[in-house]
Every structure is written in structure tokens, then in C-alpha cells.
Structure 1
Amino acid sequence: MTGGAVLAVGGSVVLVCLTVKAALDGRQTPLDIADAFYGTHFGDLQGWVQGCYMPKDTAHPGSSASARELKPTSEPHAPTAPGPATEVDKDSAREENRGRLYATYTKFNVKTGHYYSGRTSMVVDLRKPLRPQAVVAVNARDLNQHIDENDEPKNPAFQEALLDKFDVGTAVNYTNRYNDIAYWRIRGREQQLMDSFGGAQSDTREPYRTENLQRGVAKDNPLGRLFHDAAVKQWGQLYPYTGD
């Protein structure tokens, strides 16, 4: 299914709510990100009606979109030049130097011989090397010290979590994560990791082949294909798409 076909079912409550909320907050909506990724015009509602789309600074299909949204921010930002600054300036600079890092990881269960695949995120300092901060994020998640949508397995038979891939976005506030293409990539990567090890238990019959009870991305998630494509574009395809 193409990106356009996926967005054709964008009337789902989830996608509509995310789009409306982001638009009201003055931020990029999921449709804006999808337009940039696929070179489509789903976010241009007026263009839909008139049949004439306004020029937008988005990429064509198969090419990179704007540097802020699609280019991985794997290099730290340069620190601001020294000089006198007000408290407001200091706060602004401090905010600009922060971002959110998203990472995938794996954990091996020595008792069952199966892997658990997961993801996590953490606010990071963009001026500092990112990989060490990604390792810290995974270690913290391993200790159940990070907020995420899924619970971490606590069986002592699991070895320590190992970093897989990471990417960085601008959503310091976790509620804004859907506006980061980095988040989309990590969601897609997590599901591909699960599938590469044999699939979540909810997708298979016994004997199970992974320690993941549920999928990372529900089969009927309206953004599932976009998550998958974003991960493939960044790191290559680890496993074919398994959503509906």
C-alpha cells in the first residue's frame, strides 16, 4: 500500500485528532510530515477543493524533505557565541540546545533463547555527543526509569538492553513526539526488529519466537505504513511490512 493510500484512510479518529491538535498548536501536523516525506499534498485542504496546490517547500517522492524534518540530527549543535545575555536569552539558548532522542534496543533472554525488542526516548543536550546519550537512554529504560507506552519486561533471565538505532528530533515535550520524523523512524524500526526475530506473540502461535507479547505498531494503525517507510528510508529494510 502506498503512502497516499494509507492517508486515504486518514479519517480515523487517531489521525484526525493528531492533525487538528498540531494545527491548533501552530505545529506541523502528521499530514504535513507525510506530505514532506512522500511529496504529496494531503495537508493542503484548500488545494484539494480548488484542484490547484500552492507551492510548498517539500520534497518530491523518493528525495529528502526539509533538513529539519527528515535529515537525521546526528551532529550536535554548535554552542552559541560567548557574550552578555539576559535571563530570557539564556532560557532560549538552553531550550534550543535541547532535543529528544529516540532509540530502539534489544534484550536477550538466556532462559528462553528469545529476544525482546523495544524503544525509548530521552531529552538530550544537542551540544554533546549523541551516541553516549543514546546508551544512557537505553540503560535508563532498562531500569524502568523512563516513561513510555509499553511496560519493560522484568524477568531476571534477561541480559542488559543493547542499543540498536537512534535518531533525534525537537519534541522536548513528549506529547509532541508525532511531529518528529525521528519518532516515526523509531516506531517503524521497533516493529521491524520484532518481526525480524520472529514476530510478536500476538501475531504467532506457540511456540513463540520472541519475548514481545504485543506488536510495537498495531496492524490497523493508520500511520503504520508511514512508520515503516520512514525507517526503511533511514536504515534500510530489516523486515517487510506486516501491517494491514
Structure 2
Amino acid sequence: MAGGAVVAAGGSVVLVCLTVKAAMDGMETPIDIADTFYGTHFGDIHGWVQGCYAPNATAAKGTRASTPPAPLPVPETGRDRDKEGRGRLYATYTKFNPTSSRHYSGRTSMVVDLRKPLRPQAEQAVATRDSNHHTDEGDEPKTPGFRQAVLDEFDVGTALDYANRYSDIAYWRIRGREQQLIDFYGSAQSDTREPYRTENVNRGVAKDNPLGRLFHDAATKKWGQLHPYTGN
């Protein structure tokens, strides 16, 4: 199932664009991350052509075994992090509305100081995001009466520039976690009919997102499965 999902993602225009951009930036591509996560070889184009995927230890006698790929160059963001002690923290959170008895689930990110305790910084990231609700995104809850946002889970990556977030497995995990939270509390309004069960108007990860299954699996491996996969 996982391998099939990666193949499907590999044929996606979206994934190809992200992969090309990351490769040009000298960073891990989404396909590289998927290969590492699943133990697959979809990023090894030479291996596809030659048909050489078997590890040296398990290759049958008389057959060619794939040569382990050379280490990828250290991303610029990684060097920035090592030099300045910074990274990007990604977090999920929930907000409860006692008036409607429904939850809103969301995510946020923030550049943090890795030399300091991470949980207080994660809580600060959520508090900062909470203060901007209703002002910067049209699909957020408009119903009054929400309680303060509560941190759910967080993870840390190296993409100081948010544009490079797809090179962070931490970002993949948080994307998957957000959608699992939405589904856990009753699904997005776009997936159900009234009476709605959550305050999320739309899904966190579109059903046809080519990386949806990878986001879900990454989150499940990190924190356990909160809700089964609901994408296509």
C-alpha cells in the first residue's frame, strides 16, 4: 500500500515540481524523504534503468547490487541551523468552542532557538498563531466563544525559510497529524453534511493531495495513528 502510494505520488506534477525545486536547492527532495521513510528506491533513477535494487547483503549470486548513494549535500538551512542554533518548529493545536461543543484543529510553525527548551517555544508558536485567528485566513472558524488554543504535538526541522518546508520530515508529520486531528474530532465540514461536527470548514490535507498518504504515515510513525487515513 505504501509503495503504491509513493508511485502514485511520483507521477504527480505537484511532487515533480517540489522534487525539482529541492534538488536545485541542494536539499533532500520529497521522493528522497519517501525513499528513506519507506526503504524504497523511487529516487534512484539509475537503479530503475539498471534494475539494481537489491542490497549488497541480499543480492542473489551473479546479479548486480545497487551501490549505496553518496550522501546528499548538507542543505544551506542545515548549516544556518548549526551556526546560529536555530531551526523551524512545526506544531498542531486545537481550539474548543463550548457554545457549539465543537473543536477546531490547526497547525503553525516558527523559527526557534534549538539551544533553549522546545516545549515553551512550541506553546509560544501556538499562542502567536492563536492571536492571528480570524484575521488572515478565510476558512478559519468565525463562531465566537472559542477557548484558548492548546498545543497538541510538535516537531523540529531545519527549514529556516518556510519555502523549504517540504525538505523537513517534521513538516510532513505535522501535516498528517493536523488531518488526523480533524478526522478524530468528526471530520471537516467539507466532508460532512449538517449538523457539522467540527469547526474546520476545510480539510487540512486535500483528499487528492499526492503527498497525503505520506503525510499520514509519517505522523502515524511518530505519534501513533489517531484516525485512519481519509484521503483518496
Q: What TM-score does the superposition give when structure 2 sets the normalisation length?
A: 0.85
Q: Does 1:116 align with 2:104?
A: yes
1:41 is the counterpart of 2:41: yes
Q: Work out whether 1:198 is the aligned partner of 2:197.
A: no
- Kindly report structure 1 stretches of 4+ aligned residues shifted beyond 2 Å: 91-96, 147-156
Match of 2:67 among 54, 59, 77: 54
Among 182, 194, 207, the alignment partner of 1:219 is 207
Following superposition, the deviation at residue 93 of structure 1 comes to 7.2
CA distance in 1, matches of 2:173, 2:138: 17
Show the 5 A alignment for 1:1-244. 2-9=1-8, 10-52=10-52, 53-56=66-69, 95-144=83-132, 152-244=140-232
1:144/1:152 contact within 8 Å kept: no
Q: Give, as a single letter, the amino acid of the residue that structure 2 aligns with 1:30.
A: P
Contact kept? 2:81, 2:158, Cα under 8 Å: no
| 1:231 aligned counterpart, secondary structure | helix
Structure 2 letter corresponding to 1:217: V
| 1:92–1:206 CA distance, 2 compared to 1 (3 A) | closer
- Aligned pairs, how many? 211
* Amino acid aligned to 2:187: G
Q: Distance in 1 between matches of 2:70 and 2:104?
A: 40
The more displaced of 200-209 and 149-158 is: 149-158
Closer, same or farther: CA 44–181 of 1 in aligned 2, 3 Å: same
Which residue identity lines up with residue 234 of structure 1 in the other structure? K
Native 8 Å contact 2:94 2:105 kept in 1: yes
- Residue 54 of structure 1: CA displacement? 2.7
The answer to whether the 8 A contact 1:142-1:152 is kept is: no
Give the superposition deviation at 1:96. 3.9
Residues 175, 204 of structure 2: 8 Å contact kept: yes
Question: How far 1:156 sits from its partner (Å)?
Answer: 3.0
Residue 12 of structure 1 and its aligned partner are, at CA, apart by: 1.4
Equivalent position of 1:72 in the other structure: none
Tell me by how many angstroms 1:24 deviates: 0.9
Identity rate of aligned residues, in percent?
A: 72
Q: What is the RMSD computed on CA atoms of the aligned residues?
A: 2.3
How far is the alpha carbon of 1:8 from its aligned partner?
1.4
* AA partner of residue 159 (structure 2): A
1:83 equivalent in structure 2? none
* Separation in structure 2 between the aligned mates of residue 30 and residue 150 of structure 1, nearest angstrom: 29
- How far apart, CA to CA, are the structure 2 residues paired with 1:99 and 1:148? 24
Q: What do residues 21-40 of structure 1 show as CA deviations (whole Å, max 9, x unaligned)?
A: 10111110000000000000
Task: Give the match's secondary structure for 1:220.
Answer: coil
Note the residue ranges of structure 2 that are not aligned, 5 or more in a row.
53-65
